[in-house]
């Protein structure tokens, strides 16, 4: 009978140790769960901060794009209405050699002055004058 009593005490001791180990495991799991919740909250705050910063940068970029588009539109309108008013220096020199005054171009005088040029050269000169806004 002594053996049964000794075996029962050993079993009771093992059960107590297992119970204590289970309690320690529960505590460890609870601490891990708390840490996970804290980590998730931290990640949420970081994510919200980054998202807000990105939205702010996106809004600034969209505003800059709108400003640049407005400026480009305004510049296109000014260029379209004003047109180019100057000739390249080479073109001005060539016309001066032909006796054409750049201040007042008349179609007849221009055709007469360009008569000695080839067809391609006359077309190029007239295209430059059109781009410069000197011909209508």
**pLDDT by position in tens, the chain (length 136):** 445 566 778 888 999 999 999 999 999 999 999 999 999 999 999 999 999 999 999 999 999 998 888 887 776 655 544 555 556 667 767 777 766 666 555 666 677 777 788 888 888 888 887 777 676 5
| Residue 121 belongs to domain spanning | 84-136
As a whole number of Å, the CA-based R_g of the chain is 45
Are 38 and 78 in the same domain?
A: yes
Question: How many structural domains is the chain composed of?
Answer: 2
Are 62 and 115 in the same domain?
A: no
Are 53 and 88 in the same domain?
A: no
């Amino acid at each position: 009978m002594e053996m049964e009593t000794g075996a029962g005490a050993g079993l009771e001791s093992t059960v107590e140790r297992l119970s204590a180990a289970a309690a320690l495991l529960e505590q460890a799991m609870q601490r891990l769960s708390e840490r996970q919740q804290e980590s998730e909250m931290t990640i949420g705050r970081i994510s919200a901060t980054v998202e807000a910063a990105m939205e702010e940068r996106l809004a600034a970029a969209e505003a800059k794009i709108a400003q640049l588009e407005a400026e480009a539109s305004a510049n296109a309108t000014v260029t379209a209405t004003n047109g180019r008013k100057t000739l390249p220096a080479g073109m001005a020199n060539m016309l001066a050699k032909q006796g054409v005054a750049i201040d007042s171009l008349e179609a007849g005088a221009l055709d007469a002055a360009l008569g000695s040029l080839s067809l391609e050269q006359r077309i190029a000169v007239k295209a430059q004058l059109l781009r410069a806004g000197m011909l209508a």
